């Protein structure tokens, strides 16, 4: 009886040309799928940002909000005045070293002081002295409904009966429209260049 010949050890399978081509096609389709998914994600994020920006712009236009150039954040010396603001009431620019406390004030707040508040993300709601008492009460109630970062105060010689200001933003009104004021406050409160700085409480 002759002994069986030992079998040759099997080597690694060498893929055929067709198998290699199929593997390349699979890799290519995987890359295309990954790129397409990435494009969809990025495109969706950009689209959402554009839609949100357009929605914000429409809301601002509906409120009649004016935007003014940023006049900077220079701190004045104590007692130093500044009169070259680009809006009335002011919306940015050089300001006093100390802000006013938030809340309701029965006294006017100097321009240089209120600009410091705006820098901290405060919204100023101001009215012309002589405004009907019931409207003043409505403005004060609106101001007290916010825990911080809103100030309600009179403003002598205000060009319109009521005005709301935030950093670089101004909305003027011919009456105490609480709905519009609340939308302005909710959109622009805490949007100053130093938003988040604690707001001292007032009256």
Angle at 74 between CA 193 and CA 113, to 5 degrees: 80
Residue 167 per-residue DSSP state: T
Nearest Cα residue to 198 out of 95, 105, 121, 90: 121
Contacts of 63 (CB under 8 A, 6+ apart): 171, 180, 183, 184, 187
User: d(Cα 162, Cα 176) in Å, to the nearest integer?
Assistant: 6
pLDDT number for residue 84: 97
Q: Are residues 121 and 87 in the same domain?
A: yes
Domain that holds residue 73: 66-188
- Which pair of structure tokens corresponds to residue 157? 């010689």
User: What pTM does this model have?
Assistant: 0.72
Domain count, the chain: 2
pLDDT number for residue 62: 77
- Which pair of structure tokens corresponds to residue 106? 């029965």
Flag whether 203 is in a domain.
no
Average confidence (pLDDT) per 10 residues, the chain, 203 residues = 56 76 88 88 71 56 92 95 97 96 97 97 98 98 96 98 98 97 97 88 50
Q: Are residues 44 and 128 in the same domain?
A: no
pLDDT number for residue 196: 84
Q: Are residues 28 and 81 in the same domain?
A: no
User: d(Cα 171, Cα 54) in Å, to the nearest integer?
Assistant: 19
Flag whether 102 is in a domain.
yes
pLDDT number for residue 37: 86
Exposure string for 173-202, b = 16+ CB within 10 A, e = fewer: beebbeebbebbbebbbbebeeeeeebeeb
Q: Are residues 148 and 105 in the same domain?
A: yes
Flag whether 150 is in a domain.
yes
Whichever domain contains 94, its CATH number is 3.40.30
Q: Are residues 102 and 151 in the same domain?
A: yes
Measured in whole angstroms, the distance separating CA 83 from the mean position of its chain's CA atoms is 28
Flag whether 197 is in a domain.
no
Q: Are residues 33 and 44 in the same domain?
A: yes
Q: Are residues 71 and 47 in the same domain?
A: no
Per the CB < 8 A criterion, the answer to whether 153 and 141 are in contact is no
Tally of CA atoms within 13 A in the half-sphere of 170 that contains its CB = 22
Contacts of 135 (CB under 8 A, 6+ apart): 127, 161, 162, 175, 176
Flag whether 144 is in a domain.
yes
pLDDT number for residue 53: 45
User: d(Cα 140, Cα 80) in Å, to the nearest integer?
Assistant: 30
Nearest Cα residue to 192 out of 81, 73, 94: 73
User: d(Cα 159, Cα 88) in Å, to the nearest integer?
Assistant: 8
Flag whether 32 is in a domain.
yes
Work out the widest C-alpha separation in the chain, in whole angstroms. Answer: 127
């Amino acid at each position: 009886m002759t002994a069986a010949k030992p079998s040759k050890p099997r080597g690694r399978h060498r893929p055929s040309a067709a198998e290699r081509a199929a593997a390349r096609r699979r890799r290519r389709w995987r890359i295309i799928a990954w790129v397409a998914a990435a494009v969809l994600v990025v495109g969706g994020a950009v689209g959402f940002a554009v839609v949100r920006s357009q929605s914000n712009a429409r809301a601002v236009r509906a409120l009649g909000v004016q935007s003014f150039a940023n006049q900077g954040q220079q701190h004045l010396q104590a007692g130093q005045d500044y009169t070259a603001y680009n809006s009335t009431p002011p919306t940015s620019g050089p300001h006093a070293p100390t802000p006013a406390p938030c809340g309701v004030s029965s006294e006017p707040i100097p321009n240089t002081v209120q600009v410091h508040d705006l820098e901290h993300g405060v919204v100023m709601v101001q009215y012309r002295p002589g405004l009907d008492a019931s409207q003043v009460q409505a403005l004060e109630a609106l101001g007290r409904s916010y825990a911080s970062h809103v100030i309600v105060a009179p403003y002598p010689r205000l060009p319109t009966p009521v005005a709301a200001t935030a950093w670089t933003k101004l909305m003027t009104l011919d009456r105490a429209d609480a709905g519009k004021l609340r939308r302005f406050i909710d959109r622009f409160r805490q949007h100053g260049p130093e938003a988040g700085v604690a707001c001292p409480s007032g009256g």
